[in-house]
Each structure stands twice: as C-alpha cells, then as structure tokens.
C-alpha cells in the first residue's frame, strides 16, 4: 500500500510534486521517490514495502529500456502466476508485483487489467509517446483523485495532496447538500470538493497534449450475464468455497507480518475459520474492538469463535474519552465525511497493529453486498434505504439547511441494470453506496498507521459468482447470507454460524448525548463560526439538538453529520 502523485504539464514543478508527496507521506514511510520528464511530466511515490523489501523495487519504477515510468498503489495478488507467463518476454530484475504490473502493461497494453487479481491505482508515463495511462481496480479499493487545470493534469492518492498545490479546492455544495438531505457520499466520479474528481472503480484514464479520456474497462453486468446460475445449492457452495480459499491464499502473499480483523459476525468468523486451515498461518494475530457496552459489543461472539481456533486475540477497547482526539486525527486524514464512532473505533485496531509490527491486516468487507446481508434486502423492505439500524424514522434533517443549500439537493438515482429488485439493490451497494464509502473510510484509516488492508471477500471472482446466484441461495426463509452460514456451519459451533447481524457496534447515540455532550456543542459552535455557516439554520439545529437531549434518539446520524461537517470543513 502506498501513495501516488503526478503532474502532467508543460511546466511540472518538482517542488509542487514534493509538496503533494509530503501531504500523504503517512501512506508510505519506507521510501519517497520522484521522476521528472522535463517540460512534460513529474511522477512521485510514497512506498510502504510489502513484497520485495529491497530498494530495487522502489518507485517510480522503470523498465529495462527506461521508456515507461510507473507509480503504483496496491497489490497484484496473482503476480507470481503472471510473472510465469511473462518470463520469456521480459527480463525481471526484482521479485516485486510492481515489476510484473509494468511488464504486463508492456506486453498486453490496457488488456493487462483483465488479468489482474488485486487492488490497485496506478499511473504509467510513456516517455516516448508522452502519454499517461492510469487505472483503478474493479471496485475502487485503492483511491485515485485528479484535477484537470487548463491543459495540465494533477493526480494523487488523497485530496489533501491536490489541495497543497491547487488553491481552488473548494467545497462542492451540491454533494454536501445531498449528504445532509439523503445521506449520499457522492457518485463514483465525485468528491465533496469542486473540480476534484475521482477515477471510478473499474475505469482507466489516458492524458496526452491536454486531452483527458476516461474509459470503463470492467463491465460487471456483462460478466454476470456469462455466469452459470443453474447450479444446485451444493454445487454452488462447493464452487464458492474453492474460490474463497484461493482468494485467501493469494492475499497471504507478503514479506511482512500479517494479522486479521474479526467481529462477531458470520463474515469474519468464516475468514478466521478458513485462515486456520492454512497450516503456516495458524495462530496469526486477530484484532477486534469493543467499548465495554454489552448492548453493542460483539466481543462475546468473538471470544466464542476464538475459543474454537485458539488464535491470539488482541482486544482493543475504545472509550468515549478517546473520541475527541481520534476524531480530529481521522477527519484530517479522511478529507471528506466519514462514518461515526465505529470508524474511529476501527482505526484503533490499526494503531495497535502498527505498534505490534503487523503491516498487513485482512478483514471481511464485502460479504453483505454479495450475499444480501443487510435488513433492507429482505422482501418488502424499503427499496430506497441503505442505512442500517435507524428504524422507520428518517435519519436526515434537511430542515436545518438554508433554503439556498437545500435547493441544490437532488435525490441520487442509481442504474438498475438487472431484472429484479434484489440484484439492483446489491449493484447499487457495490458500486454507488456501501462499498465505495466503506473502502474510502478503510483506506484512509489503514494508511493513517502505515498498514495495508486486504479484503479477500472482494475478490472479483467471488463477488461475481455470488451475485449471479438465485435469491433463495442468499435469503432462505428469512435467513440472510444463507449459503455463507451453511459453509460456516461445519467449521464452528452452530450458535456462531447463525449469529444475528448487529446494525450498531458502538454506543454512539448515548455518547453523543451524554459523555460527549460538551464536545458536540463545541463542534456545533465551530460550525456556526465556519466559512460555511451560511449553509445552516442554527435555530433549527438547536431545536433538533435539544430534542435529541430530551431523548428523541431513534437515530444519531444527523447529529454526527453536523459534527463531521465541522471537523472536515474546518480542516480545509
């Protein structure tokens, strides 16, 4: 996991490139490198060394003839297999996946993307043709932000890097309005800041002589249409389990210590059970967070699971007293609004892993979306919602916005490429809502502590196969993620395989109104004194806050939105 940055311009300043790299230095503390093609391009890299720890694999990385320069963030998990294919046509000088990526591009061009199993955001500068080629992985695990300014292109792994050299990174009021009104975090190409775009997952970009072109390289819909969905339940279960084991095995490839995150749910319990089927990976460190509040903690389920495998368990406690300091740090690193207390608690796992010398963590992101695990996937549920644990009342309070900002809000509309509601909800969550924002939160958190996060359940082969299966394999007699539970059942005690999903993992509602009451009021005051105070009707905010303090706490999401806005906007 690393940071990438670049300037494609007739006058690229190395000083600007170094400013960008400094802003995201936490992403790669092991080496900082630059390449300058005078009057054309400047590429930079922050390295976190995971595979081939030698200096030979430092970046920007060039080929034998020094025509191409690569800056790459992520991992190509199947690099060993690709290297074997490429060894007769390319002379390798390292054992890194970085060099395999570049060799694959030289041989296959943009078609190399279809061959990669991994998470990646990279840019390749062709010093001969003066063309930039950049791409992002299928689901957008790794970030790629860019700004086109006249005939120049700036790109980086984090928005703050762009902001360090561009004076016009201002809030995108429409995206903020949609966030407050509908809970949207923007479309796949948007950010919360004007003229800062993100390359959507599964897309590539080329830039030459001031011309920018985007292209979708991963067509999920077409791939789903080609997958056999006529297997019996047992056949599908066997195929999926085989793919799952292979995905985990690929993500064990590293030259540094590994660990994994575990909650009390089915997903991470399955990950733990399968990890321990690899003889050389038994007893690796497991990490979980808890708050000490039994209404929300999943620790009892975690301990039951760990009792069957005997893995060392690192229990990381997160308390209300830590929120203020943690929120300030995470807001600065996230650049945009982020999930509430669970995101802060989750970040403490990575802090502990860093202290333990663990550089790679695996977790269970992605199962709910492919196997229909959220409550709103159930038949008859509201087809418009995508927020868990808020009851029937809306978690949003658009009345606190001024009429001017509220008028900018436009309810997001998502494609529905499939002929049934369930798959369209899953598609929305995979590419527009749940997964994009979770991946953004997780990338910034892991990078805050210079650790790499891998998501074996987001292997595209798994997602595609599960998505294509019949609805009854996903939800059976009201039981969600049914096939997953059936896979897990013989591996653990049954009370774990059918553990209920908890929509809330922290006492955020209680903390905001009690332990953190003064802190919330301080943030609301800072919002009132901010440059964006004209977005809000503070009399309405005061009314809603008083109602919350009086016990109207069906949801705390609106309170967190205002606190979050104060934290993020005051960092700009």
Ligand-binding site membership of 97 (annotated): yes
Q: Is 112 a catalytic residue?
A: no
Give the whole-angstrom CA distance, residue 431 versus residue 529. Answer: 36
Taking the CA atoms of 95, 99, 100 and 106 in sequence, report the sign of the dihedral they define: negative
Strands 258-261, 285-290: parallel, antiparallel or unpaired by DSSP?
A: parallel
The answer to whether the peptide bond before residue 60 is cis (omega within 30 degrees of 0) is yes
Helix, strand or coil, per DSSP, at residue 464: helix
Rounded Cα gap, residues 118 and 176, in angstroms: 32
Tokens encoding 334:
């996230």
The catalytic position among 2, 468, 483, 567 is 2
330 to 28, 307, 349, 350: CA distances (angstroms)? 17, 33, 13, 12
Element (DSSP H or E) covering residue 125: strand 118-126
Task: Report the helix count and the strand count for the chain, using DSSP H and E.
Answer: 24, 19
Nearest Cα residue to 36 out of 54, 58, 62: 62
**Measured between alpha carbons, how far is 95 from 117 in angstroms, rounded to an integer?**
17
Residues 437, 178 contacting (CB under 8 angstroms)? no
Task: Tell me the sheet residues that pair with 287.
Answer: 261, 314
- Find residue 536's DSSP bridge partners: 401
d(CA 446, CA 450): 6
Query: Which residue is it, tokens 């400013």?
Result: 19
Question: What's the angle, vertex CA 466, arms to CA 460 and CA 470, rounded to 5?
Answer: 150
Q: Which helix (H) or strand (E) holds 245?
A: helix 233-250
Please, what's the largest Cα pairwise distance for the chain? 72
Pairing label, strands 68-76, 452-454: unpaired
**CA dist., res. 372 & res. 470, Å (int):** 11
Helices 341-355 and 434-448: angle between axes, nearest 10 degrees: 40
Q: How far apart are CA 109 and CA 116, in angstroms?
A: 12
The rounded distance, in Å, linking the Cα atoms of 410 and 397 is 15
| Residue 101 phi, psi dihedral angles, 5° rounding | -60, -50
- Separation between Cα atoms, residue 234 and residue 229, nearest integer Å: 13
Of 74, 53, 223, 45, the residue nearest 135 (C-alpha):
74
Q: What are the binding residues for L-glutamine?
A: 97
Which residues are annotated as catalytic?
2
Q: What are the binding residues?
A: 97
């Amino acid at each position: 996991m690393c940071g990438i940055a670049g300037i494609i311009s007739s006058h690229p300043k190395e000083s600007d490139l170094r400013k960008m790299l400094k802003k995201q230095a936490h992403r790669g503390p092991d080496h900082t490198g630059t390449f300058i093609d005078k009057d054309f391009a400047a590429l930079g890299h922050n390295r976190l060394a995971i595979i081939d720890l030698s200096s030979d694999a430092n970046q920007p990385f060039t080929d034998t003839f020094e025509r191409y320069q690569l800056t790459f963030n992520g991992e190509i998990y199947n690099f060993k297999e690709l290297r074997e294919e490429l060894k007769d046509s390319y002379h390798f000088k390292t054992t890194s996946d970085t060099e395999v990526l570049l060799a694959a591009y030289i041989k296959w061009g943009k078609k190399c993307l279809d061959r990669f199993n991994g998470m990646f955001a990279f840019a390749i500068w062709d010093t001969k043709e003066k063309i930039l080629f950049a791409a992002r992985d299928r689901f957008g695990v790794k970030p790629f932000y860019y700004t086109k300014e006249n005939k120049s292109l700036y790109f980086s792994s984090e928005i703050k890097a762009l902001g360090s050299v561009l004076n016009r990174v201002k809030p995108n009021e429409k995206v903020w309005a949609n966030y407050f009104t509908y809970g949207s975090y923007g479309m796949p190409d948007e950010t919360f800041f004007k003229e800062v775009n993100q390359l959507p997952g599964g897309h590539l970009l080329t830039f030459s002589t001031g011309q920018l072109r985007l292209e979708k390289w991963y067509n999920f819909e077409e791939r789903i249409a080609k997958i056999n969905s006529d297997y019996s339940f047992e056949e599908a279960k066997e195929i999926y389990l085989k793919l799952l084991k292979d995905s985990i095995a690929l993500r064990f490839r590293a030259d540094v210590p590994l660990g994994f995150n575990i909650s009390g749910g089915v997903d991470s319990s399955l990950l733990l059970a399968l990890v321990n089927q690899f003889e050389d990976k038994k007893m690796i460190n497991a990490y979980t967070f808890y708050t000490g509040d039994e209404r929300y903690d999943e620790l009892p389920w975690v301990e039951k699971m760990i009792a069957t495998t005997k893995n060392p368990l690192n229990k990381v406690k997160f308390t209300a007293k830590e929120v203020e300091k943690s929120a300030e740090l995470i807001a600065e690193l996230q650049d945009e609004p982020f999930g509430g207390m669970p995101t802060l608690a989750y970040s403490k796992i990575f802090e502990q892993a860093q202290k333990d010398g663990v550089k790679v963590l695996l977790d269970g992101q992605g199962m709910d979306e492919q196997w229909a695990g959220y409550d709103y996937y159930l038949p008859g549920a509201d087809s418009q919602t995508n927020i868990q644990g808020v009851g029937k009342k809306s978690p949003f309070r658009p009345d606190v916005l001024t009429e001017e900002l509220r008028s900018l809000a436009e309810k997001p509309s998502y494609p529905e490429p499939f002929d049934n509601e369930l798959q369209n909800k899953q598609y929305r969550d995979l590419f527009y809502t749940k997964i994009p924002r979770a991946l953004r939160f997780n990338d910034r958190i892991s990078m805050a502590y210079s650790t790499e996060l891998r998501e074996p359940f987001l292997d595209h082969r798994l997602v595609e196969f599960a998505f294509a299966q019949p609805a009854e394999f996903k939800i059976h007699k009201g039981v969600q993620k049914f096939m997953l539970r059936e896979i897990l059942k013989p591996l653990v005690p049954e009370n774990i395989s059918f553990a209920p999903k908890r929509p809330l993992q922290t006492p955020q509602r209680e903390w905001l109104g009690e332990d953190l009451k003064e802190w919330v009021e301080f943030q609301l005051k800072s919002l009132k004194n901010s440059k964006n105070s004209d977005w809000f009707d503070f009399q309405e905010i005061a009314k809603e806050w008083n109602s919350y303090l009086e016990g109207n706490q069906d949801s705390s999401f609106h309170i967190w939105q205002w606190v979050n806005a104060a934290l993020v906007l005051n960092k700009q």
